[in-house]
Amino acid sequence: MRFLWLGTYEAEYPRGAVLRQGLRALGHDVVECHEPLWERTRHKAGGFLAPASLARSGAAAARAWALLARRERRVGPVDAVVVGYPAQPDLPLGRLVARRRRVPLVADMMIALGDTLAGDRGRVGVVGGRVLTAVDRLARGAQVVMADTRANADWMVAHLGVDPRRTVVVPVGAEPALFPPAAVPSPADAPVSAVFIGKLAPLHGLPTVLEAAAVPGAPPVTVVGDGQLMSWLRGRLDAGAPGVTHVPWIPYRDLGAEIARHHIALGVFGTSDKAGRVVPNKVWQAMSVGRPVVTADTPGAREVLRDGENALLVPPADVPALAAALTRLATDAGLRARMGTEARATYARLGTPEAVAARLVAAVEAA
């Protein structure tokens, strides 16, 4: 099959990179028709929501769509048009292109803008949330709507009116070259430690992580990243945060090595509705490296993780439970090894580029 990957999507973001790599590995052709827009700012939920920034972004998007429309006409026949993540801004263009070519339109709806920016992150008010939800509902015009978990797919059906027959669950997975399996450091060479990676959005539950790291017996935690809660984190670190080291940012290409440097990987611990529906990049990346994961026990997590097998699942925002899970893994090398092996096996079964892309191919063939 031949896929036209269309839009202003963030080209290097793991979601699309994994899918395109997998499609090519399966023998399919992927033609990218891309105009950079989202790469210009790392944190998409920040100042761009101000009116002046929105006006500039809108003008830039209009220019990008004009360029994409001209370039797309130079592309030969394709079997499907995929509007890459984040799909919402480019869905009107994608719909026109797919309709003219008479092929299925695929929307990569890994997140809903209204749910994320208004609900989870609290970045916009009621009116802004309604506007973003209206934009999210453009996905109803696609023949295939990708979600990263069944919980997210069901949410889109219930809240956006997406036809359930058009949804397909396509996990985010991870790139094997960047997150290869790695031997666990010997405690004799490096004390047992945990790593928490993220853009510090509320759903990650960073306060829970910091409080758990301070519990006696819990292993030290390295927090990698910055973002919405950065000012709060600086305040906590300045006041003293026992057991926590902060690294503001690490290049994406080096994240696999950072995960491999630790014995345990942390997922998300927030209490928002969205936090309960996701299995984020960092969980798949840790499983690819072969590290046991500790994360919140949620409907999304249970689609992939099994408590005591490839992960330890704890109640969201439960500091004592998280501290106990960390202490349990820190003091049981055999458990760490078994869970790390099973985590890697889970990735090999469900999260490789080929496994992820095969789900998209099947959905397009059935559309």
Any idea what the CATH number is for the domain that residue 139 is in? 3.40.50.2000
Note the pLDDT of residue 203: 84
pLDDT of 252: 95
Residue 114 has pLDDT above 70, yes or no: no
Q: DSSP of 230-292, one letter per residue?
A: HHHHHHHHHH--TTEEEE----GGGHHHHHHTSSEEE-----STGGGG---HHHHHHHHHT--
**One domain, residues 216 and 289:** yes
pLDDT of 195 higher than 90: yes
Nearest CA to 251 out of 174, 210, 190, 197 is that of 197
Strands 2-7, 80-83: parallel, antiparallel or unpaired by DSSP? parallel
Indicate whether 358 belongs to any domain: yes
Query: Would you say 354 and 22 are in contact if contact means Cβ atoms under 8 Å apart?
Result: yes
Per-residue pLDDT at 46 exceeds 70? no
Task: Determine if the peptide bond prior to 191 is cis (ω within 30°).
Answer: no
Q: Which of 363, 320, 366 is nearest to 23 (CA)?
A: 363
Enclosing domain of residue 320: 194-350
pLDDT of residue 280 exceeding 80, the answer is: yes
91/137 same-domain check: yes
211 and 302 assigned to the same domain:
yes
Least confident window among 134-138, 172-176, 182-186, 302-306:
134-138
Q: What is the pLDDT of residue 214?
A: 97
Task: Check pLDDT > 80 for residue 57.
Answer: no
Residue 150 lies in a domain: yes
Q: What is the pLDDT of residue 54?
A: 54
Residue 44 has what pLDDT? 53
Clarify whether residues 11 and 121 are in a common domain: yes
Answer whether residue 45 shows pLDDT above 80. Answer: no
Residue 314: predicted pLDDT: 99
pLDDT confidence of residue 300: 98
Q: Residue 294 domain-assigned?
A: yes
Which pLDDT tens digit goes with each residue over 200-210? 888 899 999 99
Tokens of 42: 């790392």
pTM for this one?
Answer: 0.91
User: Do residue 274 and residue 345 come from a single domain?
Assistant: yes
Q: Which tens digit of pLDDT belongs to each residue from 67-107?
A: 999 999 999 999 999 999 988 889 999 999 999 999 999 99
- 169 and 247 share a domain? no
Asked whether residue 168 falls in the same domain as residue 223, the answer is: no
Show Cβ contacts of residue 38 under 8 Å, excluding neighbours closer than 6 positions: 8, 9, 10, 13, 44, 86
Share of the chain above pLDDT 70, in %: 90
Q: What is the pLDDT of residues 315-351, one digit of tens each?
A: 999 999 999 999 999 999 999 999 999 999 999 999 9
Report the percentage of the chain scoring pLDDT > 90. 77
Mean pLDDT, rounded, for 153-160: 94
Q: Could you tell me if 37 and 162 lie in one domain?
A: yes
* Co-location of 136 and 201 in the same domain: no
Query: Lowest mean pLDDT: which of 39-43, 158-162, 237-241?
Result: 39-43
